[in-house]
Structure 1
């Protein structure tokens, strides 16, 4: 929600919904609970442990004026050598530089850690989400003292780190729901949980966690901290079991979500639009999904048509044509990111796994297979929830390896590349 020009999360509303959900657990018993959310956003606590202010949404524009100041203290080259993080203007270190409360706060808790703290009274920072802040050393798996000190932050602002599978406390009695239930640290960055549930059967796979964002990359055992990786804007985020999610963020289904909102349509209207889009000529108009014009909330269709006009392409006139432009462009973004991920990491890709909500978008999955020239396996849709549950189940001693179980039990759809890659080669050059 926006108030006085700032975009905030309704974090207390989310917390209330969590408590309401826990109160409805059949039988009133859980063996374990794990919390995952999105990355980079946080709450600041005062000396009394209370939240100092409502967390600001990462799509707020407050960091625009401080990025150059941050880079004057630590160069982009040095930042990448330490944190291996893709430059995104909303990364936590830029948000902190713009946050007037950072100097007086006692502790910073990322969103899943904040919710876990309210549930248990225990503070901590789970590694998969900590690795998205820009304050984390990609090579050592610890907070980067060099970055923290260079930015003038107090080291004690950052809580002790914990890993997926570690205990994170127990539900407090005064919550009134399931008192004493164990809380287990999971891949608290939702993408980390989603990638843990990729039903891969071999090492040479790529993944696309496709939802509001498309996070496209490969899974590695060590970070890639090269200048070439920095120039390509690839990120090294910690995954479950100390793996590295070497990936790039692509704007993703946000483009469709905002278009539907502008047209006063809901997600139930999307299948018919996708059916109509499938009949629109392929690659007639494409956009760069990561162009800054497409980041803020608002009238997405107008921005898409303006981009096409500005780049001398046919201007999509109907919702179906705009939807086709979006899915073609996302497939191109997937193609580019995965080709770069393979080249930069040295990992050959034999199959692409699409997980998350976008795995149910058959047109996008087929276009991704066509664009990459690789077979695509789509599913599971609820990969984040399955990865979260899997880490908890493993911590409880109920299983040892999640991926074979996912591959054997979840409905998966398979897409084979159709036709030559030549049209996609030409379309990529028109992204502007």
Structure 2
């Protein structure tokens, strides 16, 4: 009899419930529920509606019952850095701010008055990004709302959703590292750093590794959804789950988790907290079994997603790729990591204004705008790979592209041409698959991450783009 596992994979724009099971040594997946997500304006700030997310998690669980496919376990992953504050009674302190909100402006200066940036990098190995949890907490501390004074516990978004299901508070390692408050040597909170910043130590719970059992559904939740099941910690940071699904053999490989963000990097056993690594703005985020995801965060497909929405979703992403390819000779480029593209009122205007300000030809058509974005992304990938090879002292032959961007044929072809690497693309549902793999290893149905990656390669259509 087949054993089903349920991955609840929630991104910044949508969430999905994906069932997985092994059949004749291959992983079969089935999407059973999908829902919308998005940031909402609340008193002038961008926030998350976590009540909506929790209701949708339960709605998807009910679909398992309706289909008669009851999972032996389930696990939730989401994006990184955002968190929920809870008071002494365990009640949520609203609002739950989103990382694209502008409240962290200037918070880096306050943090750097407490600890020198170079020293901060040595403590954590995490790339400076103004939306990191370290700066969000400082925004809470500096605000006049008293949120941080009232808070007794901090849980990252997926940990909070699992808490609502089980009543158990746990903090998972891979997402905890994105706070820029975890020490890569101890694999625990950097208590000396937390003390310097004046954050309450009680906020930070014990850190556990992906694959740990959290508990089972609370009786009232089990009654609502129609069954009982175990709740497991996956690699709760969606990128960490996606990297688990990279269908590579051996330890020396490059990956690109391509979605709203592009995360380009390699997997290492030790963090690189050197000055050279810091100058290159690399990060050492936590991975499964205390591996390190040595990578750079790149703006990613957020830009093409945004302009597509401004065009009222008139074209599919495949059609935008085709339009861009017809304009592949359009010469203008943008720095995709420029802060102006983080959360502009209009992404189209941001692209046009950047080209105008930098003295380049301003794109006029949808195809030209798409070409600028895709070409600029592939240029950034090329530069980042060169930096990665210089920093690691290794030359890589292949780049594995996983996530939704693995379907962007034009971008994958451009990347292969510019980087001179063989590009392997797929699977597109890498995050959910990595989530499922963590559960399968926990149950003993899969023996190790290495075996899981081979199974993934054999189970899905992996396309190849030659340099």
TM-score (norm 2): 0.87
SS at match of 2:92: coil
Q: Which residue of 2 aligns with 1:187?
A: 235
Q: Which residue of 2 aligns with 1:197?
A: 245
- State the 1:306 CA deviation: 1.2
Q: Which stretch has the larger CA shift, 38-47 or 134-143? A: 134-143
Which residues of structure 2 form unaligned runs of 5+? 1-39, 141-145
- Aligned to 1:111, which of 157, 162, 170? 157
Looking at structure 1, the residues matched to 289 and 396 of structure 2 have their Cα atoms a distance apart, in angstroms, of 21
1:130 and 2:176 are equivalent in the alignment: yes
- State the 1:274 CA deviation: 1.7
Size of the aligned set, in residue pairs, is: 416
Give the 3 Å change call, closer, same or farther, for CA 358–327 of structure 1 in structure 2.
same
Looking at structure 2, the residues matched to 81 and 280 of structure 1 have their Cα atoms a distance apart, in angstroms, of 44
Contact 2:70/2:227 (<8 A) preserved: no
Give the 3 Å change call, closer, same or farther, for CA 346–140 of structure 1 in structure 2.
farther
Q: Which residue of 2 aligns with 1:63?
A: 104
Counterparts of 1:418-429 in structure 2 under 5 Å? none
Which residues of structure 1 form unaligned runs of 5+? 418-432
Counterparts of 1:9-408 in structure 2 under 5 Å? 9-25=48-64, 26-27=67-68, 29-99=70-140, 100-175=146-221, 176-178=224-226, 180-266=228-314, 268-282=315-329, 284-400=331-447, 401-408=451-458
TM-score (norm 1): 0.94
Give the 3 Å change call, closer, same or farther, for CA 28–379 of structure 1 in structure 2.
closer
- State the 1:283 CA deviation: 5.5
- State the 1:28 CA deviation: 6.1
- State the 1:314 CA deviation: 1.3
- State the 1:74 CA deviation: 1.3
SS at match of 1:281: coil
Contact 1:30/1:178 (<8 A) preserved: no
Looking at structure 2, the residues matched to 297 and 357 of structure 1 have their Cα atoms a distance apart, in angstroms, of 23
Looking at structure 1, the residues matched to 393 and 239 of structure 2 have their Cα atoms a distance apart, in angstroms, of 22
- State the 1:328 CA deviation: 0.4
Looking at structure 1, the residues matched to 359 and 170 of structure 2 have their Cα atoms a distance apart, in angstroms, of 51
Q: Which residue of 1 aligns with 2:15?
A: none
- State the 1:338 CA deviation: 1.6
SS at match of 1:376: strand
Q: Which stretch has the larger CA shift, 12-21 or 278-287? A: 278-287
Looking at structure 2, the residues matched to 178 and 245 of structure 1 have their Cα atoms a distance apart, in angstroms, of 38
Cα deviations by residue, 1:146-201 (Å, 9 ceiling, x for unpaired): 11101111211111111011111111111122554111111000000000000002
Cα deviations by residue, 1:122-144 (Å, 9 ceiling, x for unpaired): 01110000000011001211100
Looking at structure 2, the residues matched to 33 and 159 of structure 1 have their Cα atoms a distance apart, in angstroms, of 22
Q: Which residue of 1 aligns with 2:3?
A: none
Contact 1:283/1:328 (<8 A) preserved: no
SS at match of 1:387: helix
Looking at structure 1, the residues matched to 338 and 256 of structure 2 have their Cα atoms a distance apart, in angstroms, of 19
Looking at structure 2, the residues matched to 281 and 335 of structure 1 have their Cα atoms a distance apart, in angstroms, of 17
Contact 2:317/2:408 (<8 A) preserved: no
Looking at structure 1, the residues matched to 430 and 44 of structure 2 have their Cα atoms a distance apart, in angstroms, of 35
Cα deviations by residue, 1:276-304 (Å, 9 ceiling, x for unpaired): 21111336111100011111142111111
- State the 1:388 CA deviation: 0.3
* Greater strand proportion: 2
